[in-house]
Amino acid sequence: MHSKTLAELAAALKNGEFSSEELTKSFLQRIQQHDGDINSYITVDEEHALAQARAADEMIAAGKAGPLTGIPLAQKDIFCTNGIKTSCGSKMLDNFIAPYDATVIEKFNQAGVVMLGKTNMDEFAMGSSNETSYYGGVKNPWNVDTVPGGSSGGSAAAVAARLAPAATGTDTGGSIRQPAALCGVTGLKPSYGRVSRYGMIAFASSLDQAGTFTRSAEDAAMMLQVMAGFDEKDSTSIDHPVDDYVAGLKQDLKGLKIGLPKEYFGEGLQPGVADAVNQAIAEYKKLGAEVVEISLPNSHLSVPAYYVIAPAECSSNLSRFDGVRFGYRCDEPKDLEDLYKRSRGEGFGDEVKRRIMIGTYALSAGYYDAYYLKAQKIRRLISDDFKQAFEKVDVIMGPTTPEVAFKAGEKSGDPVSMYLSDIYTIATNLAGLPGMSVPCGFADNMPVGLQIIGNYFDEARLLNVAHQYQQVTDWHQQVPAAYK
């Protein structure tokens, strides 16, 4: 059962080949058997999962099933889940039981989806390697000595190891696409405002976006169909029509114009990654696409701009974690100041503290104009680069990451080197555009991801472009040997 895609599982459930309860038990057994090796889950609630599976079986029997009814998924531990711990990978929320469901969780519940558990992640989604989690680092199923990427590394690793058929993630600067590339799965970050952020614990409110980890583009289309849509509870949600993502997959690619940014193929790109990406571009040419060289001249400024804007927003968002209302509280505080200082000092990890300090500094009197305001001006220039590019091309392609998965601990002492892991993904978040990473080969026996960037709310085209590539290649079907 674990080797089937979402589309195959949906067909099997509909045909009565097995029940949702049997399917869920199968995945729970795999988690029990294998997750000790990769640490991809923080919380697994078997009782809750099996209750949802039995309810789904009743929906199927009554003829009320939707496309995903009865299918078990994993949810990143950043989405609030009523009655179940939502930790955000932090000691600060280790004791937090969410009193409500995030809109994404609510939509999956209405669709009859089963939640296997909550996946591990970098603390408060801050990291590119999943090593900042309070619950320990996640390991890459392709080589447990390497990282799975971050911050959604638990979701990527769980899907790669077939410990879940699919999973949710969030992407603030590449946190879906980068781990998808390093773990050899398909990762989709929709346009900003396409999926509700209500109940998704905020890191950087103008950048965070929920998305998916799946085996294939077809599976991503099925998940996005459930997740997408306007939500009046989210002030950043945009009221834009939702396409039929599954129906649009079959269109051929003749005449598609692909833009290759020259800035994405320069210094710092690992030769094996470049080779795999170039071979993928060659496949697109065979499918009838036309390739055009383009320029995104301000893309080199995306990392410095991001690491002013994101910490500034996190400094504001994380001020609510003060030891007073919920979450971690220090023992026997002497006074209110001591309560604040020790609760935050003991509850947050080093990377979170680093970003709060940077953000608070950037927003302080005398520095706001020099740092935050300037970064926002650069953000507009980056967005304008993409607008000009999309006047000439339909999609933009390039590598998702500059290198394959690196060894655990290799970059822990060098935050700047770690930040550069997202050099090709950050600009997409600053502009609010949709992006995908699809498996396109291997370098040094580790997966390589091809990044595809689309225009605003053009997820249907992105999914179609990825799906057509996956019809003529089998990179997305590769499984780490230990998890077949």
CATH of the domain at 163: 3.90.1300.10
Question: In angstroms, rounded to a whole number, what is the distance separating the alpha carbons of residues 75 and 125?
Answer: 14
pTM for the whole thing?
0.96
336 falls within a domain? no
pLDDT at residue 307 in the model? 93
406 falls within a domain? no
pLDDT at residue 440 in the model? 98
Contact 347, 356 (CB under 8 A): no
Beta strand spans in 366-461 (E): 395-399, 435-443, 446-453
Sign of the Cα pseudo-torsion (424, 427, 428, 430, in order):
positive
Contact 27, 115 (CB under 8 A): no
392 falls within a domain? no
Neighbour count for residue 204 (Cβ, 10 Å): 23
Contact 131, 408 (CB under 8 A): yes
Question: In angstroms, rounded to a whole number, what is the distance separating the alpha carbons of residues 156 and 161?
Answer: 9
* Tokens found for residue 256: 């598609």
Q: How many helices (H) and strands (E) does the chain have?
A: 15, 11
The half-sphere exposure of 387 on its side-chain side, counting CA atoms within 13 A, is 9
Question: In angstroms, rounded to a whole number, what is the distance separating the alpha carbons of residues 470 and 476?
Answer: 7
Q: Give the end-to-end CA distance of the chain in Å, rounded to a whole number.
A: 11
Contacts of 38 (CB under 8 A, 6+ apart): 138, 139, 140, 141, 144, 148, 157, 158, 161, 163
Number of domains in the chain: 1
90 falls within a domain? yes
Question: In angstroms, rounded to a whole number, what is the distance separating the alpha carbons of residues 250 and 242?
Answer: 18
* Tokens found for residue 274: 């470049």
Question: In angstroms, rounded to a whole number, what is the distance separating the alpha carbons of residues 465 and 47?
Answer: 40
The parts of the chain modelled with pLDDT lower than 70 are none
Question: In angstroms, rounded to a whole number, what is the distance separating the alpha carbons of residues 231 and 238?
Answer: 8
Strand pairing partners for 213? 167, 187
Q: What is the dihedral of CA 379, 385, 389, 390, to 10 degrees?
A: 40
pLDDT in tens, 443-461: 999 999 999 999 999 999 9
38 falls within a domain? yes
pLDDT in tens, 311-351: 999 999 999 999 998 999 999 999 999 999 999 999 999 99
Q: Strands 290-294 and 257-261, how do they pair?
A: parallel
191 falls within a domain? yes
Contacts of 108 (CB under 8 A, 6+ apart): 68, 73, 75, 115, 226, 227
423 falls within a domain? no
Contact 392, 257 (CB under 8 A): yes
Which residue's structure tokens are 């408060």?
124
Q: Which domain holds residue 233?
A: 6-251
Q: Which amino acid is at 268?
A: G
The half-sphere exposure of 62 on its side-chain side, counting CA atoms within 13 A, is 12
Question: In angstroms, rounded to a whole number, what is the distance separating the alpha carbons of residues 369 and 392?
Answer: 34
Beta strand spans in 285-365 (E): 290-294
Nearest to 307 by CA among 385, 387, 423, 403: 423
Residue positions annotated with a catalytic role = 76, 151, 175
435 falls within a domain? no
Nearest to 4 by CA among 55, 72, 59: 72
What are the backbone dihedrals phi and psi of residue 32, each rounded to the nearest 5 degrees, phi first? Answer: -60, -40
